[in-house]
Amino acid sequence: MKDFDKIIGRNAITMIYFFTSQCVPCEAMEPALDQFERRMAGRVDIYRINTDADENAYLLYRYMIRTTPTLIYFRKGDEIRRCEGPLTYKELLALQEQVETVEHVCLN
């Protein structure tokens, strides 16, 4: 992904969703992620990274992606939360709440 460091280096909370095109759990999670993305517009920046693409291969090693789907939250370039495996819409909301709670505590 072009400009990856710039994207995760921003002050805003950024979620990177790593998936593969042949991943059945990834496909099953897509509707929940789409719904989550619509609801969280303006609260979290979400980027989807297809790990099948050759230009993204270095990210697998850099962030030790062992399975898909994998979600990683970043803020100012630092990883603040990671979750491996498929999530439901409600689980995505709960994960977001955890991230925002940690961020709120850390910023105070």
Token output for 16:
């990177």
Residue 105 has pLDDT above 70, yes or no: no
In CATH, what number does 4-107 get?
A: 3.40.30.10
β-pairing, 45-50 vs 14-19, is: parallel
Q: Pick the residue with more confidence: 13 or 101?
A: 13
Residue 104 has pLDDT above 90, yes or no: no
pLDDT band at 103 (very low <50, low <70, confident <90, very high): low
pTM, entire model: 0.88
